[in-house]
Chains A and B, each alone.
Chain A
Amino acid sequence: MRTHSPLVGLALILALCAPVFGAEGETAPPAPGENAPPDPVTLLSARDYLDNNDNGDKIEVTWCLSADDGGGAGDVLEYRIRRSSGPGVAGEVVGTVPAGTTSFLDEGVEPGEAYYYDVAAFDGGSESAPAETGPVTGRRNFFQTSRLPVLVLAALFFAMVLTFTRLAQRGANLFVRRIPGLTAVEEAVGRATEMGRPVLYVPGIGEIDDIQTIASLTILSHVAKITAEYETPLIVPTARSVVMSAAEEVVKEAYAEAGHPDNYSPDNIRYLSDAQFAFAGAVSGIMLRERPAANLYLGAFWAESLLFAETGFETKAIQVAGTANVSQLPFFVTACDYTLIGEELYAASAYLSKEPKLLGSLKGSDWMKVVSIGIMVLGIVLSLFGVTGFAGWFFTQ
């Protein structure tokens, strides 16, 4: 729908220009060889850029072609657009467009300032008399209307998350189905303890601003509490400095909470390298030399995923992986013992801790899926009846 407005504008311009084209035959063509300036443009107008969502720094200038462009002497080369602050003031050239063009978008105006525009046709030697229009002012917009659907659905989603969180806090019994990969995390840690070997926990190679990393740190806190109790060493290699320091805080805290602050060893939370494959190589080295019996890869992973999973398999470790990076899931699924697929990574933290805040989010996401399916089905049904505008409403930018 948004796309319609320029079309309407174009139709309007064409309609307005039509009489000028019709009148073209009445102007006497200049004699050949005579270097008269071209005829001026007509019906010049300028207005705040139609798109509702700009920031007030654009003004659109439109006109109808000079009679010498295409017809007449046919010698127009280009149009020069000038901008000034007052009527009749000589302005600076803000743009030139080739012959045959009837509009120009000035993207460099100061919002709120009044401007005048001159447009003159130029034939290589001389300029036509300028046509002038104004004043026109670029208006700033405070809301990007094309993004309204995003706002509406995000608000709905947040309302659901917060409602469910409140419910969970009041002790409502919110059911969450069992996630098979999850129990495997605890089993894996248990087995490492039995074997007296360390647990390796890789929180991905994402930066701390990646939500997968945050989800991973939440699970890390849970895992650290178990290893603290079992007195099993927990090795956490990281590829980002900030993730390393956050992991240190999380693990230290978890050990303190579990009542074993002395078991915490800062040397086991390690920064290795920001470089993807330097990190991958160094983690492989840890697997081969320190022989962890359980490898947990939870967070954001890229191509290094398979390098970890295959090296870990070679050391006969139990491996549990989880990531929302779709392109890496196939490798984890084939090479690890259990894999948390996509959203299961986020659900995992809720399931493990049974904390109201996490349960609330999980429930909110679930019902948002129902809403999404509803919108989709409605779109499909409507399209059966030839109504396509509904899906179009979601076309945002």
Chain B
Amino acid sequence: MGLLEKFLQIDRRWIFLAIAIAVVVPFFLPMGLPVVVTKPVRDLYNAVDAIPPNSEPLFISVDYAPSTIPELDPMTLAVLRHAFSKDIRVVALTLDPAGYGLAERALESVAREYGKERNKDYVYLGFQPGIAAVVLGMGTDIKGVFPEDAYGTPLSEIPMMDGIRNYDQIPLLITMASSGVIEAWVIYAHQPYGARIGAGVTAVMATDYYPFLDTGQLVGLLGGMRGAAEYEELIKHPDAGVRGMDSQSVIHVLIIVLIVLGNIAYFGSKKRSQEAKEPAA
């Protein structure tokens, strides 16, 4: 058996090993491959950037469940870092019961990084059930939907919420969504009240929402880990997204190299033996 045949029948565990190495190594040795920023991400970045500091707050709705943490957590952190680094106030909430702890964790950790104080620089509203009702309700009176924050403080006693009545006082609302919640924001907040909505979604969902960008229903869109990496690139604070991108790039190329090598071996050995050993696909 020639070298080519051997390569054709390579034990797939070598492939597994290569993938494992490609994922783990960038954790220790970040390569920092440059990330090209795409328009939907830049649009969202600009929209956040345009919010004046210490005034009307950016709203972030953490609408994802634990299963999509690897894709959506990095985005949430990057947007929060951007806001806090520019002293933009933040109000966080969630429409997904599973998102309650995730929102809190992200908000508290980034706030600590930038020395921000709760109820002065940011507010956490917590979870309210009933997606459409909450989104619509916020159009008339936010304090009607969320009378108190997640820790029981009435919103009327939080100075930074003074004068924040409805979407008119929200310069931008970003939903980090692992489900169709994003459509609720577009249909019930953008359409009737003209709220400006941005979104972060999983890579698989991203294609479904590109059309919303053309129509202006979404201000900007972050898709999957790549979207997070681009945002991290823009705020010059590389983290899980960029690190993940290194792994992603390496693995994507690795798979392509494997395919090419496999084909060379396949044709080389076919010429020699004139018969295919592989079952047809």
Interface string of B87-121 (1 = CB under 8 A from A): 00000000000000000000000000000000000
- Min Cβ gap A249→B in Å is 34
Name the one of B12, B140, B279 contacting A337, with C-beta atoms under 8 angstroms.
Answer: B279
Interface string of B247-281 (1 = CB under 8 A from A): 00000000000000000000000000000000111
**Interface positions of B from 1 to 25, Cβ below 8 Å from A:** 12
- Min Cβ gap A95→B in Å is 10
How far is B281's CA from A146's CA once the two chains are assembled, in angstroms? 45
**Interface positions of A from 325 to 360, Cβ below 8 Å from B:** 333-337
- Min Cβ gap A24→B in Å is 26
Q: Is the CB of B281 within 8 A of A314?
A: no
| Chain A, Cβ-Cβ closest to B166 | A98
Q: Is the CB of A314 within 8 A of B12?
A: yes
Q: Is the CB of A334 within 8 A of B12?
A: no
Name the one of A98, A314, A335, A337 contacting B280, with C-beta atoms under 8 angstroms.
Answer: A337
* Chain A residues whose CB sits within 8 angstroms of the CB of B12 once the complex forms: 314
- Min Cβ gap B137→A in Å is 13
How far is B280's CA from A333's CA once the two chains are assembled, in angstroms? 10
How far is B140's CA from A318's CA once the two chains are assembled, in angstroms? 61
* Chain B residues whose CB sits within 8 angstroms of the CB of A335 once the complex forms: 281
How far is B279's CA from A337's CA once the two chains are assembled, in angstroms? 7
| Chain B, Cβ-Cβ closest to A97 | B140
- Min Cβ gap A260→B in Å is 31
Query: What's the interface size class on B, roughly?
Result: under 10
**Interface positions of A from 267 to 307, Cβ below 8 Å from B:** none
* Chain B residues whose CB sits within 8 angstroms of the CB of A337 once the complex forms: 279-281
- Min Cβ gap A237→B in Å is 24
- Min Cβ gap A171→B in Å is 37
Number of A-B contacts defined by CB within 8 Å: 10
- Min Cβ gap B16→A in Å is 11
Name the one of A98, A318, A334 contacting B281, with C-beta atoms under 8 angstroms.
Answer: A334
**Residue among B12, B140, B279, B280 with the most chain A CB within 10 A?**
B279
| Chain A, Cβ-Cβ closest to B281 | A334
* Chain A residues whose CB sits within 8 angstroms of the CB of B281 once the complex forms: 333-337
- Min Cβ gap B80→A in Å is 30
* Chain A residues whose CB sits within 8 angstroms of the CB of B280 once the complex forms: 337
- Min Cβ gap A231→B in Å is 26
Interface string of B158-179 (1 = CB under 8 A from A): 0000000000000000000000
* Chain A residues whose CB sits within 8 angstroms of the CB of B140 once the complex forms: 98
How far is B9's CA from A314's CA once the two chains are assembled, in angstroms? 12
Interface string of B169-209 (1 = CB under 8 A from A): 00000000000000000000000000000000000000000
* Chain A residues whose CB sits within 8 angstroms of the CB of B279 once the complex forms: 318, 337
How far is B281's CA from A318's CA once the two chains are assembled, in angstroms? 11
How far is B281's CA from A335's CA once the two chains are assembled, in angstroms? 7
How far is B281's CA from A334's CA once the two chains are assembled, in angstroms? 6
- Min Cβ gap A327→B in Å is 8
How far is B279's CA from A318's CA once the two chains are assembled, in angstroms? 9
How far is B119's CA from A326's CA once the two chains are assembled, in angstroms? 47
How far is B193's CA from A98's CA once the two chains are assembled, in angstroms? 12
| Chain A, Cβ-Cβ closest to B12 | A314
* Chain B residues whose CB sits within 8 angstroms of the CB of A336 once the complex forms: 281
How far is B279's CA from A335's CA once the two chains are assembled, in angstroms? 10
| Chain A, Cβ-Cβ closest to B279 | A337
How far is B193's CA from A191's CA once the two chains are assembled, in angstroms? 65
How far is B281's CA from A336's CA once the two chains are assembled, in angstroms? 6
- Min Cβ gap A331→B in Å is 11
How far is B281's CA from A337's CA once the two chains are assembled, in angstroms? 5
How far is B192's CA from A98's CA once the two chains are assembled, in angstroms? 14
**Interface positions of A from 103 to 125, Cβ below 8 Å from B:** none
How far is B68's CA from A167's CA once the two chains are assembled, in angstroms? 52
* Chain B residues whose CB sits within 8 angstroms of the CB of A98 once the complex forms: 140
Interface string of B137-159 (1 = CB under 8 A from A): 00010000000000000000000
- Min Cβ gap A58→B in Å is 16
- Min Cβ gap B130→A in Å is 15
| Chain A, Cβ-Cβ closest to B140 | A98
- Min Cβ gap B192→A in Å is 12
How far is B280's CA from A335's CA once the two chains are assembled, in angstroms? 10
| Chain B, Cβ-Cβ closest to A319 | B279
- Min Cβ gap B52→A in Å is 26
**Interface positions of A from 15 to 67, Cβ below 8 Å from B:** none
How far is B281's CA from A285's CA once the two chains are assembled, in angstroms? 24
How far is B279's CA from A336's CA once the two chains are assembled, in angstroms? 9
- Min Cβ gap B132→A in Å is 13
* Chain B residues whose CB sits within 8 angstroms of the CB of A334 once the complex forms: 281
- Min Cβ gap B251→A in Å is 16
Interface string of A163-179 (1 = CB under 8 A from B): 00000000000000000
- Min Cβ gap B208→A in Å is 12
- Min Cβ gap A338→B in Å is 8
| Chain A, Cβ-Cβ closest to B204 | A327
How far is B280's CA from A386's CA once the two chains are assembled, in angstroms? 49
How far is B12's CA from A334's CA once the two chains are assembled, in angstroms? 16
- Min Cβ gap B67→A in Å is 11
How far is B189's CA from A353's CA once the two chains are assembled, in angstroms? 53
| Chain B, Cβ-Cβ closest to A337 | B279
**Residue among B12, B280, B281 with the most chain A CB within 10 A?**
B281
Interface string of A77-118 (1 = CB under 8 A from B): 000000000000000000000100000000000000000000
10 contacts between A and B (CB under 8 A): A98-B140, A314-B12, A318-B279, A333-B281, A334-B281, A335-B281, A336-B281, A337-B279, A337-B280, A337-B281
Q: Which residues of B contact A (CB under 8 A)?
A: 12, 140, 279-281
Known: A98-B140, A335-B281, A336-B281. 7 other contacts (CB 8 A): A314-B12, A318-B279, A333-B281, A334-B281, A337-B279, A337-B280, A337-B281
Ranked 5 nearest A-B pairs via Cβ: A337-B279, A334-B281, A337-B280, A333-B281, A337-B281
